[in-house]
Amino acid sequence: MIEVKSVYKFYGSFPALRGVTFSVGKGVIAGLLGPNGSGKTTTLKILVGLLRRNSGEVQVLGYDPWVNGVEVRERVGILHERPIYPRDVSVHGLLKHLAKLRGLDDEEVKRVIKLVGLKEWEWKSISALSRGYLQRFGLAQALLGDPEILLLDEPTANLDPLARREILDLISILKRDLGITVIISSHIIPELQEVCNYAIFIRNGAVAGHGSLEELSIRYAVQSVYVIKTSYPRELAAYLIKDGIVTGVDIEKDALLVRVERGMNEEFIERIDSIKQKFNIESFYHKSSDLGELYEKVIRY
């Protein structure tokens, strides 16, 4: 869905991006991680054709966003880091205009207002919204027309803990119910831990590493959590603890949550494959990796 190859972007003589390369597939929730000023926002703006790259190739849904910006933005929604909205229009009025630009009617406006929980504020002026609700408005405008890709630039920046929690819950709902591809840019790691299954680490305008969390945890020897569904959870738990590859096991009904020792992912996968029949293992999958540890390893070193 998104292909970025050797992209360079200069602001005057300052190189904001230096050969950025990554790709994101369908249905992925990708975290774009990196310190402030590393080039995350520039990357997102290039993806929707707001900024022009100096060199390199970008394809979003098969289009070059700089040349075919309208075609890309018809199918992509974006929430900017510090958005500025016209203050003297109502929430409904502004969303209605943006929906019209997409050829959508009032029904769509009502849908997104309900989706992000802005019903009470529908007819209020934008200037009356708090930071948290402004961020909800930002999400609402990004979700107009059911975009295939959603780009969120620091969606929880400058929010109080409660508003932050609300926005994160909302993103989780979007991930679960709509199944769209999402790229979330942030430097707050624990937040992304909850929602991402893919990570792109960016440092000083260059990609330091990217891939699914499972791939990255294997590559950088980071502790991972796997879920195993089996008919014999207790027996399997006892077997795995005795084996020494795992550092901890939790039993939840017919599933095991297994924390695998750093750098032992490949051995663990091989071991599970070999005992599949013995313990009647129905399925097993990578649940999460310690994103903070990954960040430390990829960005700091």
Partner 1 sequence: MRKLSVTNIKDSMVRFNVHLSYMYSKMLKGFLFITIILVPIHSFLVFTVLPQQAFRPTPVSTLSSTLWLTSIIFTFIIMYLAYSFASELSGGGAQLFLSHPLGKLEYVSAWFFTGLYVTVFLFLLSIILPVIVLDPTLLSKLSLRELYLLSLEMIVSGAIIFNVALMMKKSGLTFLCGVFFYYILPFVFMLSLAVFRKSSEFVIWMFIVLYPYKSMFIWGYARTFPYQIIQASFLSLFFAVLLHILAFVYSRWRLEVG
Residues that bind partner 1 (CB under 8 A): 41, 45, 48, 50-52, 67-71, 73-74, 77-78, 80, 82-86, 88-89, 97-98, 100-103, 141-142, 144
Nearer to partner 1, 121 or 279 (CB): 121
Residue with Cβ nearer partner 1 (89 or 227) = 89
Amino acid identity at 131: R
For residue 125, the minimal CB distance to partner 1 (Å) is: 13
Among residues 21 and 68, whose Cβ is nearest to partner 1?
68
Q: Which segments of the chain does DSSP mark as H helices, in order?
A: 40-47, 69-75, 91-101, 106-116, 131-143, 161-178, 189-195, 213-219, 233-243, 265-274, 291-295
CA 138 to CA 36: how far, in whole Å?
21
In whole angstroms, what is the distance from residue 295 CA to residue 301 CA?
Answer: 9
- In angstroms, give the least distance from the CB of 68 to partner 1: 6
Whole-number Cα distances in Å, 122 to 77, 125, 147:
20, 8, 22
Neighbours of 300 (CB within 10 A): 9
- Of 41 and 217, nearer to partner 1 (C-beta) is 41
CA 90 to CA 226: how far, in whole Å?
47
Please give the backbone phi and psi of residue 45, each rounded to the nearest 5 degrees, phi first.
-70, -30
Closest contact distance (angstroms) between CB of 191 and partner 1 is: 23
Nearer to partner 1 by C-beta: 69 or 117? 69
Q: Torsion-angle region of residue 45: left (phi > 0), alpha (psi -120 to 50) or beta?
A: alpha
- Tell me the closest approach of the beta carbon of residue 114 to partner 1, in angstroms: 20
Instruction: State in angstroms the smallest separation of the CB of 89 from partner 1.
Output: 7
